[in-house]
Structure 1
Amino acid sequence: MKIERIEAIPYSIPYAKPLKFASGQVTEADHVLIRVHTDEGIVGTADTPPRPYTYGETQDSIVSVVTKIFAPAVVGLDPMDRQKIHAILSRTIHNQTAKGGLDIALWDIIGQAANAPVSSLLGGYTDAMDVSHMLGFQPAQKLLDEALRFRSDYGINTFKLKVGRRPLALDIEACHVLREGLGQDTELYLDANRGWTANEAMEVLRQTDGLGLSLLEEPCDAKEAMSRRRLVDKSPIPVVGDESVPTAGDVSRELLSGGCNAISIKTARSGFTEAQQILGLCTGLGVDVVMGNQIDTQIGTVATVTFGAAHEATSRRAGELSNFLDMSDDLLAEPLVIKDGKISVRQVPGVGAAIDEAKLAQYRQDNK
């Protein structure tokens, strides 16, 4: 089997409810659909989310690097030869989501060729993942109303609160209101998206002590190295690396330097292959992991569930899997279902991201 051609299709779907956070906001899914075609008719599919304020990638840059640099170099190769293909991709620095999307598409081909779900090929630990929902910037009472609705409608009982606002009192109030309104049995954790300084994060931890918060993600820029190490050392809860750890090498640097002591794994930026390397580092060092969300579509969420359910360590915590519910539409032919706070692994060959072709034609932006 050989790779015959690669498509990078830009598309845009509005969000019915934009998500606002410290490093930006998302009002539409202006993503790129990756399709790797083989000479045997098997097609691997993945979604790539541009996040210029996080990784520097844009929709145009992903299309360009995939079609002009990666595709000419890997067309004609066997999609089973992932390490050979990754060696070629690694010659180009950065472009993490473009590389991650290609990797997921290759795994999708492998699963289809083997007539097996990719989650089983990766490890097959469980058949579903608990769901965590991200709450963006809103007044405290609206945050509570949203959380209560998601708990009632979908059975979700883990919430990640986007923080990093100034004045700090806005986020501190939100923490207290959510805890009081949701009770002690609901898991709450914070993500500041580098919005604070390390010292501001320490003050927030002081004023939320006793609320039972479980994690603090990217409280400040990792470049604030000395203060961040002091924060990690003094924090009563794990400090999660996310934007600062897009690659396995970054994970090693931040963990060994004391820049964080837990890791967010996002298949959108690592694919499955590097995500396995990151997970191996974390499990070997006894470091907690959480399956993160790149404000993914349902296609991206399917990939997260595929990887997260495959391994014991990534199944311990609820994965961030529900923000596709804020979109006005999606490309997945068979929509995802959240039942009793869980999303099930798709028991089909490959990843299970079959596309609704009519919707792709409606939302694609390359006029084809």
Structure 2
Amino acid sequence: MRIVDIKIEKLRINLKKPFKIAFAVQDYADNVIVKVVTDEGYFGLGEAAPFAPVTGETADGVVETLKLFKSCLIGMDPLNIEGIHTLMNRLIVGNTAAKAAIDIALYDIKGKILSQPLYKVLGGYDNKIQTDMTIGIDTPENMAMEAKQRVNDDGFRILKVKAGINPSEDIKALQLIRKAVGDDIRLRVDANQGYCVNDAIAVLKEFEKIGVEAVEQCLPYWNLDGSKLIREKVNLKVMLDETIHSPMDAAKACKIDAADILNIKLMKCGGLYNALKINAIAEANNVRCMVGCMLESKIAITAGASLVAAKKNITEADCDSFMYCSDPENGMKGGFEIDKDIFTLLDKPGLGIEFDF
């Protein structure tokens, strides 16, 4: 079997309302979708969701990188996933969202060839995941109102609250959210690199009183030693996100005990191939994982959700971003079924998404 074509198309994803985190505000995302076509009639879908502050990429840059990949991948065996990653890494450093698009499409093809859903191809531990819902930065009162709506109206039992701009406002927001949703709802916080060490320790001690279970990426991505120090000073889980791009990053974090949880994102690490390596490194060091997302359509979300379902050590999911979209389906049927905060992966080959272009 050989790759005979790679089709590339931009996808504009509009949001229902602007989404604010510590270092950015987004009201849309420009993603890129790919279709890898084989000479035996199989094709795979993939997606790049570039986010310049994290992956260093733009949609236009991803398109040009994918054109470079296309010129070299035609004629290769789509099942030679390791060989294709080796070639992509030789062609260009970084550009992990572009690499993830190719990677996801290859795994989609693999699932179709094996007539197995992707979660079984990746490990098959379960076919269900429970995702959290993210509350963007706003006034504390508005954040509490949205949190209550997400719990009462939409049925979410885990909330991830964005923070990292103003520590005192962050504490107030979490206090109001806890009051609004009650004690049974799990809360975690994502500071998106917004704190210094001293502020992080002080704020996290207040979060402990509120019953926050974990705080994600308190410090700038490079400050592993600071993360280790924070972990020693507080009694809640410390999670790393922007720090963890590659398996090597995961190994460094685990070596110095800098985190309790690693947040794997396909767009940061280049797709499922490296995501599996990161989880294996974490599991070997008794560190759990979560799979998160950028602003993605159901193609990448299904790939991420399948990874969560496939692996026992990936105990948490933050696969909610497509729900912020004006059109959550984006014309892409399948992948999984939703019942409140539970995704059930479909037993259809590969991603199980009904979409073509």
Letter in 1 for 2:173: A
Inter-CA distance 356–145: structure 2 relative to 1 (3 Å threshold): farther
Are 1:42 and 1:113, in contact at CA under 8 Å, matched by a contact in 2?
yes
Match of 1:364 in 2: none
Q: Tell whether 2:223 aligns with 1:224.
A: yes
Q: CA deviation at 1:208?
A: 2.4
Match of 1:32 in 2: 32
Are 1:46 and 1:353, in contact at CA under 8 Å, matched by a contact in 2?
no
Q: TM-score of the superposition, structure 1-length normalised?
A: 0.91
Structure having greater relative contact order (Cα 8 Å, sep ≥ 6) = 1
Alignment of 1:53-132 (within 5 A): 53-68=53-68, 70-91=69-90, 92-132=92-132
Q: TM-score of the superposition, structure 2-length normalised?
A: 0.94
CA separation in 1, counterparts of 2:41 and 2:268? 27
Are 2:147 and 2:180, in contact at CA under 8 Å, matched by a contact in 1?
no
The alignment's C-alpha RMSD in Å is 1.7
Match of 1:347 in 2: 347
Q: Tell whether 2:146 aligns with 1:146.
A: yes
Q: Which runs of 5+ in 1 are unaligned?
A: 358-368
Match of 2:10 in 1: 10
CA separation in 1, counterparts of 2:28 and 2:323? 13
Q: CA deviation at 1:106?
A: 0.2
SS at match of 1:233: helix
SS at match of 1:41: coil
Q: CA deviation at 1:337?
A: 4.4
CA separation in 1, counterparts of 2:215 and 2:353? 32
Alignment of 1:215-254 (within 5 A): 215-254=214-253
Alignment of 1:322-341 (within 5 A): 322-329=320-327, 330-334=329-333, 337-341=337-341
Letter in 1 for 2:34: I
Q: Tell whether 2:158 aligns with 1:181.
A: no
Are 1:12 and 1:30, in contact at CA under 8 Å, matched by a contact in 2?
yes
Provide Cα deviations, 1:255-310, integer angstroms capped at 9, x if missing partner.
Answer: 22344332001123331111111110111110021121213222221111111111
- Percent sequence identity over aligned pairs: 27
Provide Cα deviations, 1:289-348, integer angstroms capped at 9, x if missing partner.
Answer: 11212132222211111111111122x33x112221221124243166431420110211
Structure with bigger strand share is 2
CA separation in 2, counterparts of 1:227 and 1:286? 20
Letter in 2 for 1:328: S
Match of 1:171 in 2: 170
SS at match of 1:37: strand
How many residue pairs align between the two structures?
Answer: 353
Inter-CA distance 112–182: structure 2 relative to 1 (3 Å threshold): same
Q: Which runs of 5+ in 2 are unaligned?
A: none
Q: Tell whether 2:200 aligns with 1:201.
A: yes
Match of 1:42 in 2: 42
Provide Cα deviations, 1:124-182, integer angstroms capped at 9, x if missing partner.
Answer: 1111111200110111222222222222333210010010012x111000111111211
Are 1:222 and 1:228, in contact at CA under 8 Å, matched by a contact in 2?
no
Among 319, 329, 346, which residue is 1:321 paired with? 319
CA separation in 2, counterparts of 1:86 and 1:325? 31
CA separation in 2, counterparts of 1:106 and 1:356? 15
User: Which range is displaced more, 265-274 or 237-246?
Assistant: 265-274
